[in-house]
Chain A
Amino acid sequence: MSDLNHADALKIWNIPGGIHPAECKALSNRTPIQPAPLPKQLTLPLNQHIGAPAEPVVTVGERVLKGQLIAAANGFVSVPLHAPTSGTVSFIGPQPYPHVSGMLAPAIVIDSDGLDEWCALTPCPNYQHLDNSLLAELIRQAGISGMGGAGFPTAVKLNARPTQKIHTLIINGTECEPYITADDVLMRERASALISGIDILVQLIQPQDVLIGIEDNKPEAVAAVRAALDGHRYQLKVFPTKYPSGGEKQLIQILTGVEVPSGGLPADIGMLCQNVGTCVAIHDAVVHGKPLISRITTLTGEALAQPMNVEVLLGTPVSELLAFAGLAQGKLNRLIMGGPMMGFTLPDFAVPLIKTTNCLLAATDVELPAPPPAMPCIRCGECAEACPASLLPQQLHFFAIGQEHEQLKAHNLFDCIECGACAYVCPSSIPLVQYYRAAKGEIRDLEQKQLKAEQSKQRFELRQERLRRAEEQKEADRQARAAKAAAAKAAQAAAAESGDAAAAAKPAGPTDEQKKLKIEASMAQVALRKAEKQLAAHVTPELQAQVDELRSAAVAAQQALDASMAANPPTPVAAAAPAADDGALKKAKIDAAMLRAQLRKLEKLEEPTSEQQTELQQLRTQLEAAEKLLASLQAEAPAPAAPKPAADDRAVEKAKIDAAMLRAQLRKLEKLEEPNSEQQTELQQLRTQLEAAEKLLASLQAEAPAPAAPKPAADDGALKKAKIDAAMLRAQLRKLEKLEEPTSEQQTELQQLRAQLEAAEKLLASLQAETPTAPTKTAEASAVDPLKKAKIELAMKRAELKKAEKAESDEATLNALRAALAQAEQALHDAEAASNKPAPELVRTDKKPIDEATRALKTEVAFARADLRKLERDDSSVADALATARQRLADAEQQLAEHQSA
């Protein structure tokens, strides 16, 4: 206020153009503000302001109290909505909306309960202590939007802009449009609330100047405000009536002489404009804590019996208000919401009153006659003189007809405030404002489309870019994988090369070349099968050709492999070193075993593929080769043993081991439930081998006594050997006899063994028969030795006799043996006598002969113990088997004990 001198303080400026239509304000400003009756139903559109529609926070059926929040602000440029009275939410959805189009808009419908019950309010009379942000929040929460008619969210307008400080606050009490007197009566009746509201705004934005602008056709309002201003340093400026001085930009020009730049906002030049109604609403919101739920609206027009200003709840149906004001339906020509210059004709009376509704004009035919038909423009230039924004309405009109959007923009179409002054003065009655509005709508629409197209293009390009990147990434991955595989292959090849020497040294199995060929063959097979599958799905000549090609390739690969295999069998080294030593034999055996295992594994496969089949075939041939080799080796193996017959016992032992091994193998094979042909042949081979081995063994054994013969009774060694041989033969014989189903081979073996055993026993007997004479003859020198010998001889004779008795030999042999025994006894006595030793005390232990039952029991115990030991040694034996064996042993021992005690 300091930079304005006193002269400036009273100075006012003029605006270009403007008109002076009939005011008709006296109709409604003669009565004080009336309270409107409480309607039964309130319809509250969610979008009563500029910006995003509010979001409902209540549900249908919910009871709401007066002043309760029913819809929250949805974003920054949005305002919340409150229940104007207490009641129940009965509907949320499309409802009639005060708009030229007559379209429905989303709304909350509240059935009032008539109680008008307030919710808890938080009044804040001492707002001076409040923080600015808190104060702004209070205004925002109260749901206040511009009450002058535009409905811009007040809180957004008050939001401080860091770039431009507001230095002048302008309070708009102009109310320039004819008929409307809402602000007039508001200023008259609520001047103190208005000043209080201005105080809040001043605290909030801290302007240097506060200007209150009122037209000079409202002397009562001016007087009331002036009275209320007592003590405040706000400037009240009264200026001549002219339409449209109430426009924001026009008022700023009138009060300060500064023009808002084209396309700009008052804030750009440090100004802020607020309607008087908004100031009162701010006062109510902050000081009383009441949200914006009602407003003062002018009900006017010749069609109304009692034109007046009413304080009406938002959402009240227009029809009810008109009825309250005494609408004469017959007289009504047009019902206009807003003023006659800028308002719009309501298509429907069911629409509710909203936050921006400052007037309802029920005009008669005489008051507002229908406009005459438009005539062509005569280029009189009246419109340009009337335009308050200094535009060229005539030019804009022509550009609008020609849809020359660029020209319209160049002629500042968007600075048009649509005041209607040009149309008012037009002698041709051209609805100029409608042209401008249509042109503006079209341009905005196109711009929006352009924006969307640009956005779509961007999204499309980004998508293309993303897809391209994904493709590239995939390709890179593929290449990386290929490179890795190649590297691995190279490394393998290098390893194979370096290991060539080593591989040559141990060429067991197929060579590298064969391996490669095999891999190639199987790969060709796989490719062929894949192609065949594809062919089965879709038969095309290309595919057919491809399959044929693949097939021939696969066959070629297989042939190459077979040729390689035939030329170079996998066990060439084994064949090259035949029977040089047992090592070769062993190796051949291992090879054969391995091949057999592999073969068996493959045979187990339920559905062998063709590759596996071929592999199986190869394995079989390899196995056969290996077995042949083995057979030849084995056939040769006894041969080298033959040239040195009975040179020592080692040859016999080896032959025995061979025979045992062959037998074990044979038995293993016999156990197989379903021997295949290979196994059968193997079995046959084994049997022949076994026979050969046994023959060899028999001959060896037959020879073995022979070499003993040339040195008869030379010493006890020969006798011992003969005994051991006999014992071994006996054991073997017994083993064979135990077999429950002896095969023919075993039978023959048994026969041989028996024959051998007999021979051995005979030999032994002859040896033993010789020995009694020999030692007595030769061992005369020593005294003790003959004695010992005689004793042994006696024992042996006794054993022989017992054996003969047991074997139920004929009487002659028995007698001979008895005689021998007697002889031995005599010999012992002689020896004793000859040895000069004191005769031993004869201690005849009455040893009872063991009866058959005891022997059987003892045998049983021994067997049981042996079985148990065997099971215990074997780790894989089952616990059950162990337990039964133990039980058997325990039973046998118990029985034996019982028998002996009995």
Chain B
Amino acid sequence: MSLVLIAVLALLALCLVAGAILGFAAIRFKVEGNPIAEQINALLPQTQCGQCGYPGCKPYAEAIAGGDKINKCPPGGESTIQALADLLDVEAEPLDAVEGEKPQMVAYIREAECIGCTKCIQACPVDAIVGAAKQMHTVIVSECTGCDLCVEPCPVDCIDMLEVGSTVQSWKWEKPLAPGQLIASDRGQAA
């Protein structure tokens, strides 16, 4: 009888100690914000284009953390969906966009037609357009995320979205066909 009592008391004491430690840790090491939303945000391309229906990447990250679908980011494309699926341990879904995955774009202002209204500057989420009122504007190509938010406000339609072409520097090798996936002419030879 006493043995049982001792065991119960011991367990009770253990529970109390563990609870105290957990309680202390919960207060002392409290994490501000939602850590999973931060991780998701780190995977998003940060174009701030709003094509997901949220006003920026962070709101979408928070929405995903709250249970939204992971396939609403056209600039991120399949690779982002895959990364999100891996992070959240969910099934990767095909991209939810009409045109599918688009190549990397960059805004280009036809400077001769620019009237210097500064509307695109106000629209740019990353301050990638330089210019002043009644002065010609231009896009800082290295900072442009290709979100195309500047195209709509332009009153003279002088902004084009150009595809970022591959250069010698940005060119990368193609991955070879996986072993066993042979082109037709090679099949006989391989057999």
Contact = CB atoms under 8 A, between A and B. Distances in A.
Contact of A438 (B48, B126, B174): B174
Contact of A373 (B126, B128, B189): B189
Given A375-B190, A438-B174, 6 more contacts: A100-B173, A105-B167, A431-B176, A441-B173, A449-B45, A457-B41
Contact of A377 (B170, B179, B183): B179
9 contacts: A373-B186, A374-B179, A374-B182, A438-B175, A446-B79, A456-B46, A456-B48, A457-B57, A460-B126
B176 A453 contact: no
A455 B57 CA distance: 13
For the complex of A and B, 6 pairs with smallest distance between CB atoms: A441-B172, A373-B186, A453-B46, A437-B173, A438-B175, A376-B179
A462 B175 CA distance: 39
A430 B181 CA distance: 12
A103 B169 CA distance: 10
A103 B44 CA distance: 31
A428 B170 CA distance: 31
Contact residues of B: prevailing secondary structure: loop
Interface string B160-185: 00000011111111111111101100
Contact of B168 (A105, A440, A441): A105
A101 B166 CA distance: 10
A431 B174 CA distance: 12
B56 A460 contact: yes
B143 interface: yes
B127 interface: yes
Interface residues of B, number: 35
Given A438-B174, A446-B79, A99 B168 contact: yes
Interface of A: 47, 97, 99-101, 103, 105, 372-377, 400-401, 428, 430-431, 434-435, 437-442, 444-446, 449, 452-457, 459-460, 462-463
B168 A460 contact: no
A442 B48 CA distance: 23
A463 B169 CA distance: 31
Highest count of chain A CB atoms <10 Å: which of B79, B172, B186: B172
A97 B168 CA distance: 9
A460 B166 contact: no
Nearest to A397: B179
Contacts of A462: 127
B153 interface: no
Highest count of chain A CB atoms <10 Å: which of B143, B145, B182, B186: B145
B125 interface: yes
A103 B126 contact: no
B138 interface: no
B118 interface: no
A323 B44 CA distance: 54
A442 B172 contact: yes
A435 B176 contact: yes
B172 A444 contact: yes
Contact of A375 (B41, B125, B169, B179): B179
Nearest to A45: B168
Contacts of B71: none
B186 A103 contact: no
A434 B172 contact: no
A463 to B, nearest CB: 5
Contacts of A440: 172
Nearest to A401: B178
A376 B190 CA distance: 11
A449 B169 CA distance: 15
Contacts of A459: 126-128, 143
Contacts of B171: 99-101, 103
